[in-house]
């Protein structure tokens, strides 16, 4: 026995303990890795098979691949590490790497002790014994188990244990999970065991009993499929048409929990099934029929009685669905359809205000239920009616069957005043023609002239119906759509005094009587006449005439200036061959000035006529005064009539601006002659107005003397006047 045996025995026991611990760690690491990968494999294959229902061939491939893979893992991570030889030298070196302070004494002691007899001739026994003793002493103070790092292996083992416990608990927690685990094992081994059904497909919008749906031939059809339970990853539609055409389409998911596929322009009947996840539906059927539509529609009109229009004869109906008729017309329609009708509804009214009512279905000449009839009354100016049909084949009409209703609304009469055109001052003896033109779209039934007094003694409205003596044409009637009416209103009938007001208007009514609460009565514009003393109105008319005379004086001066300008233009441009744009523009400017003079002369004539009529109506002017004013008007009329000198002068200047020098001077000379005639006409008008003013001044003086004498007579006692 070696003298060093006791010391080396202690070291060897401690190294054997490390060797055993290392092998246990190898075994624990290999088994933990194997269990972890096996758990992940079980989870992955379970999820794939459960959600995608793998075919048997794929499951067998997974099984073979799993056996091969885990066999390799077992050899690589369990068998091989346990079979590797771990020598004392390896362990000694391992310990010395962890404890550098041994300084190779442990490996040296083991190797020297092993070769002690062989190397005795070279090594001193005492030196070897000292070295071994020193190594034993140094190693005795160290913990050899501290060289092992167990944390990584224990972590892997913990993951493996947790995963194993989790799978075990999940597989046995409920009856359902135990069943699923059993089915998984059987399917993993390649057996033909089915998972419990998790997806239930439901085809929507089909008859639940017959699984049939009827559509219009040529329409688009969207197949919609909902589901309950597990959401299918992919839904397929297998179809077959009656013609033999078949195919498979993948449905899309435009909405949550719904898959759809659209057949466009379906030509004929077909059948289909839907499959997804672990469910396949029964066979569903699609049949095609012709949708109902209107082939012809016939209308008859019953017009309101007050219009005196002939109703549509039953034997001669109006063809076509659109209606254009007067308001309150009763319209009856008969529509001929292409299919037998089960239900029909009339939707009447403007968009957003429709009202539905059932229609009557009649038999055609062939005995089929293909006639739809109903009626409605025209109310609105613009509306529509719609026929909603449902055929006996179950189909509604494909497109909206809409027709326009254009109601000819009976408008209120229109009153356009001709005279007066505004409020006026009048005398108490005024006899004033009041005229208007009254129009109505369907004829006038009555025109009233209404008046009342406002002042110290106000009156109610007095209404006078206009008769034949006041109207042109002289009769009312449904066909009389325009009447010119004139009424001579005598203010003395109201006994109005200065300070009072008289209000007048026309009121018109047509023949509309279908709605007593809403007759077509139109009140015209109201005009107000202020009753003033004769002298006040006479002064007002004289002031207006003075303004007219001042305007005519200004126009005469303008015309003289324009006459002189025309002479200058003749001297300036008469011999010019071709005028420049600026030169032609100068001539056109003169033509525009002449045209403006024409317009203003026309206004002056209108003002004179208005003064004349007001003076006559209010008995301020006698026939002689009115005649003088008429002569002034005639003088202006001669100047401004369409072929008169002033319009012709305007044309002549414009022609001169476009003429060559050969004719330009002639035209300008002719213009001067026409302008001279205009000056003469203005002079004549002013002369007649001056004569009128002189005569009217004499009349005014005599009226003043008369009124003064009447006031004096009023102060004389009656007994003196009788003497």
Q: Give residues with Cβ within 8 angstroms of 411, minimum separation 6.
A: 440, 441, 520
Q: Give the whole-angstrom CA distance, residue 111 versus residue 128.
A: 10
Supply 43's token pair: 């989870």
- The residue among 51 and 330 whose pLDDT is bigger is 330
In a domain, 186, yes or no: no
pLDDT band (50, 70, 90) for residue 19? confident
Mean pLDDT of the region 612-623? 88
**Geometric angle at alpha carbon 360, from 355 and 363, rounded to 5°:** 155
In a domain, 185, yes or no: no
- The residue among 170 and 340 whose pLDDT is bigger is 340
The sheet with strand 341-348 has its strands ordered as: 323-326, 401-408, 382-391, 341-348, 355-358
Model confidence at 241: pLDDT above 50: yes
Which of 154, 172, 190 terminates a domain? The answer is 172
19 with 114, same domain: the answer is: yes
In a domain, 553, yes or no: yes
pLDDT at residue 27, as a whole number? 85
> pLDDT by residue (tens digit) across 306-315?
888 899 999 9
Question: HSE (CB half, 13 Å, CA atoms) of 342?
Answer: 9
Which residue, among 222, 235, 226, has the nearest Cα to 202 in the 3D structure? 226
pLDDT at residue 560, as a whole number? 95
pLDDT at residue 117, as a whole number? 46
pLDDT band (50, 70, 90) for residue 476? very high
266 with 372, same domain: the answer is: no
Q: Is 23 exposed, middle or buried (0-12, 13-18, 19+ CB in 10 A)?
A: middle
Which residue, among 430, 227, 442, 424, has the nearest Cα to 325 in the 3D structure? 442
Which residue, among 226, 228, 219, 248, has the nearest Cα to 236 in the 3D structure? 248
Mean pLDDT of the region 81-91? 74
Query: What integer best gives the mean pLDDT of the chain?
Result: 86
> pLDDT by residue (tens digit) across 173-192?
888 888 888 888 898 888 88
In a domain, 441, yes or no: yes
673 with 573, same domain: the answer is: yes
The sheet with strand 414-419 has its strands ordered as: 414-419, 431-439, 482-490, 471-472
451 with 392, same domain: the answer is: no
479 with 580, same domain: the answer is: no
3-state SS record for 383-409: EEEEEEEEECCCCECCCCEEEEEEEEC
Least confident segment among 219-228, 452-461, 614-623, 708-717: 708-717
Model confidence at 24: pLDDT above 70: yes
> pLDDT by residue (tens digit) across 141-152?
565 666 666 778
In a domain, 182, yes or no: no
546 with 428, same domain: the answer is: no
Cis status of the peptide bond prior to 473, with omega within 30 of 0: yes
256 with 147, same domain: the answer is: no
3-state SS record for 232-250: CCCEEEEEEECCCCEEEEE
In a domain, 523, yes or no: yes
pLDDT at residue 120, as a whole number? 47
Task: Provide the domain count of the chain.
Answer: 5
Tell me how far the alpha carbon of residue 483 is from its chain's centroid.
Answer: 46
546 with 657, same domain: the answer is: yes
- The residue among 241 and 399 whose pLDDT is bigger is 241
Domain coverage including residue 316: 294-408
Kindly list the distances between the CA atom of residue 187 and the CA atoms of 34, 68, 195, 196, 198, in Å, as whole numbers in the listed order.
22, 18, 9, 13, 17
pLDDT at residue 92, as a whole number? 67
In a domain, 190, yes or no: no
Which of 289, 316, 340 terminates a domain? The answer is 289
Which of 532, 557, 582 terminates a domain? The answer is 532
The CATH code of the domain that includes 205 is 2.60.40.10
Q: Give the whole-angstrom CA distance, residue 173 versus residue 633.
A: 121
pLDDT band (50, 70, 90) for residue 99? low
139 with 215, same domain: the answer is: no
556 with 645, same domain: the answer is: yes
Mean pLDDT of the region 155-162? 87
In a domain, 119, yes or no: yes
310 with 268, same domain: the answer is: no
539 with 666, same domain: the answer is: yes
Phi, psi of 3 (to 5 degrees): -65, -15
């Amino acid at each position: 026995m070696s003298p060093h045996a006791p010391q080396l025995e202690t070291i060897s026991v401690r190294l054997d303990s490390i060797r055993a611990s290392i092998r246990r760690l190898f075994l624990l690491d290999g088994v933990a890795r194997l269990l972890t990968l096996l758990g992940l494999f079980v989870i992955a294959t379970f999820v794939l098979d459960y959600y995608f229902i793998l075919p048997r061939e794929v499951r067998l491939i997974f099984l073979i691949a799993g056996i091969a893979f885990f066999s390799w893992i077992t050899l690589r991570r369990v068998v091989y590490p346990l079979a590797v030889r771990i020598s004392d030298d390896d362990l000694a070196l391992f310990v010395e790497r962890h404890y550098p302070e041994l300084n190779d004494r442990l490996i040296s002691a083991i190797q020297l002790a092993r070769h002690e007899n062989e190397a005795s001739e070279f090594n001193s026994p005492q030196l070897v014994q000292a070295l071994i003793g020193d190594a034993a002493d140094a190693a005795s103070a160290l913990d050899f188990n501290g060289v092992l790092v167990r944390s990584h292996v224990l972590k892997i083992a913990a993951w493996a244990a947790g995963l194993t416990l989790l799978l075990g608990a999940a597989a046995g927690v409920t009856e359902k999970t135990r069943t699923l685990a059993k089915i998984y094992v059987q399917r993993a081994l390649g057996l033909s065991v089915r998972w419990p059904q998790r997806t239930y497909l439901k085809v929507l919008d089909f008859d639940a009993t017959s699984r049939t749906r009827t559509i219009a031939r040529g329409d688009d059809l969207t197949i919609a499929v909902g589901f309950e339970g597990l959401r299918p990853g992919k839904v397929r539609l297998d179809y077959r048409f009656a013609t033999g055409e078949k195919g498979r389409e993948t449905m899309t998911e435009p909405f949550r929990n719904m898959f759809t596929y659209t057949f466009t322009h379906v030509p004929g009947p077909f059948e289909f099934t839907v499959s997804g996840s672990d469910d396949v539906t029964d066979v569903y059927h699609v049949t095609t029929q012709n949708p109902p539509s209107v082939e012809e529609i016939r209308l008859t009109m019953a017009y309101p009685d007050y219009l005196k229009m002939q109703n549509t004869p039953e034997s001669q109906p109006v063809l076509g669905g659109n209606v254009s008729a007067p308001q309150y017309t009763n319209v009856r329609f008969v529509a001929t359809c292409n299919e037998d009708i089960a239900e029909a509804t009339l939707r009447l009214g403007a968009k957003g205000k429709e009202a539905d009512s059932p229609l009557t279905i009649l038999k055609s000449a062939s005995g089929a239920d293909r006639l739809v009839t109903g009626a409605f009354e025209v109310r609105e100016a613009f509306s529509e009616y719609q026929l909603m049909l449902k055929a006996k084949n179950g189909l509604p009409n494909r497109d909206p069957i809409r027709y326009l209703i254009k109601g000819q609304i009976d408008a209120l009469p229109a009153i356009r005043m001709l005279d007066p055109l505004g409020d006026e001052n009048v005398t108490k003896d005024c006899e004033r023609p009041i005229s208007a033109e009254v129009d109505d779209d369907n004829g006038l039934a009555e025109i009233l002239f209404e008046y009342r007094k406002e002042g110290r003694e106000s009156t109610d409205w007095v209404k006078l119906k206009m008769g034949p003596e006041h109207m042109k044409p002289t009769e009312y009637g449904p066909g009389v759509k325009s009447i010119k009416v004139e009424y001579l209103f005598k203010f003395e009938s109201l006994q109005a005094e200065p300070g009072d007001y008289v209000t007048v208007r026309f009121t018109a009514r047509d023949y509309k009587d279908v709605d007593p609460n809403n007759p077509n009565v139109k009140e015209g514009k109201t005009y107000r006449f202020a009753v003033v003393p004769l002298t006040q109105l006479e002064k007002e008319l004289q002031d207006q005439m003075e303004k007219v005379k001042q305007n005519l004086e200004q126009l005469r001066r303008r015309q003289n200036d324009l006459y002189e300008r025309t002479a200058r233009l003749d001297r300036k441009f008469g011999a010019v061959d071709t005028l420049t744009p600026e030169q032609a523009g100068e001539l056109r400017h003169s033509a525009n000035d002449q045209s403006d003079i024409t317009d203003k002369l026309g206004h002056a004539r209108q003002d004179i006529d208005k003064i004349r009529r007001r003076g006559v109506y209010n008995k301020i002017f006698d026939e002689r005064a009115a005649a003088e004013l008429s002569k002034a008007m005639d003088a202006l009329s001669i100047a401004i009539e369409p072929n008169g000198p002033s319009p012709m002068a305007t044309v002549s200047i414009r022609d001169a601006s476009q003429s060559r020098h050969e004719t330009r001077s002639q035209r300008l000379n002719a213009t001067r002659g026409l302008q001279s005639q205009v000056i003469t006409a203005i002079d004549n008008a002013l002369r007649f107005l001056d004569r009128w003013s002189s005569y009217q001044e004499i009349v005014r003086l005599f009226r003043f003397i008369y009124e003064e004498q009447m006031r004096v007579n009023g102060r004389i006692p009656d007994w003196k006047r009788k003497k």
